[in-house]
Amino acid sequence: MLEINNLRISIAGKTLVKIDHLTAAPGERLGLVGESGSGKTLTVLSILGLLPSMMDVEGSIIFAGQELLGKPEDELATIRGRDIAMVFQDPSRSLNPTMKVGRQIGETLHLHTKLSKSEIAQKTLELMHSVQLQDPEKLVSRYPHELSGGQQQRVMIAAAIACQPKLLIADEPTTALDVTVQQGVLKLLLKLSRESDMAMIFVSHNLGVVQAVSERIAVMHDGEIVELGLTTQILDSPGAAYTKELIGANPSIPDAQELRRLLGTRFPTGKGV
């Protein structure tokens, strides 16, 4: 469904990202992991056509048979939100503080569907129910600052899945949340992915979290993928020196087994990628 080939992102002649090949299949959960500055976010922003204009992008990004690189902005705007959606790290900065959360969820439906105003209002409540927000009839008329961090992130997820996208990109979606709330959000993302056969690219510096939710992992370092494969195989037998360093430096890795159990996650263990 998603295929990236020979992707190069540069600025003023300096290469920031160099990815030869990366794919994501329908319904697959792919983890993109690496330290800050490794190129993770630049990679996913290139998929959405959201890189700063001063950056040069070369290569090929094919989504559902369409080449995204070089596509006119109006066509990309149609794909964003409808076919590919993104959940950002800090919902308090991503949500509009002057707009009620119900309207922000409904905005995606307004832009990408022909639903009436009343139908959008009803669908908004259904979406809030689907992301397990309590009392959505009350929350729908509240502003972001009146919600907890976990509630804000669920609002972001509701807006992201409003049009049933084929691909959801989650960029550090739990970093700003406490551990208990993290678990709830991760469980929700897994549930949504399984129920809708929606592919998900989960971006994080936290290898423990990525291990718990992803079937495959791409490890990034200095703008390149240094290791790619099944989650269990990479973490049991890492081949790249950087992957070994990442595992050794990540104190949350021992907790990933427990997190998997709590999330009900099961992954393939067979050979191959």
Exposed/middle/buried for residue 208 (C-beta within 10 Å: 0-12, 13-18, 19+): buried
Beta strand residue intervals within 83-135, DSSP E: 84-87
Does residue 271 belong to any structural domain of this protein? Answer: no
- Average pLDDT rounded to a whole number, residues 196-207: 91
Of the listed ranges 30-39, 66-75, 201-210, the one predicted with least confidence: 201-210
Does residue 133 belong to any structural domain of this protein? Answer: no
Banded pLDDT at 84 (limits 50, 70, 90):
very high
What's 200's domain CATH number? Answer: 3.40.50.300
| Residues spanned by the domain of 26 | 2-83+165-263
Does residue 125 belong to any structural domain of this protein? Answer: no
> pLDDT digit string (tens) for 232-257?
999 889 999 999 998 887 755 545 55
Task: Provide the pLDDT for residue 265.
Answer: 55
Please tell me the distance from the alpha carbon of residue 238 to that of residue 245, in angstroms, as a whole number: 10
Residues in the chain, overall count: 273
Task: Report which residue type is found at 160.
Answer: A
pTM: 0.88
**DSSP annotation of 145:** G
Does residue 136 belong to any structural domain of this protein? Answer: no
Does residue 110 belong to any structural domain of this protein? Answer: no
Does residue 153 belong to any structural domain of this protein? Answer: no
Does residue 31 belong to any structural domain of this protein? Answer: yes
> pLDDT digit string (tens) for 140-156?
999 999 999 999 999 99
Query: Which is it for the CA torsion 99, 102, 105, 106, positive or negative?
Result: negative
Structural domains counted in the chain: 1
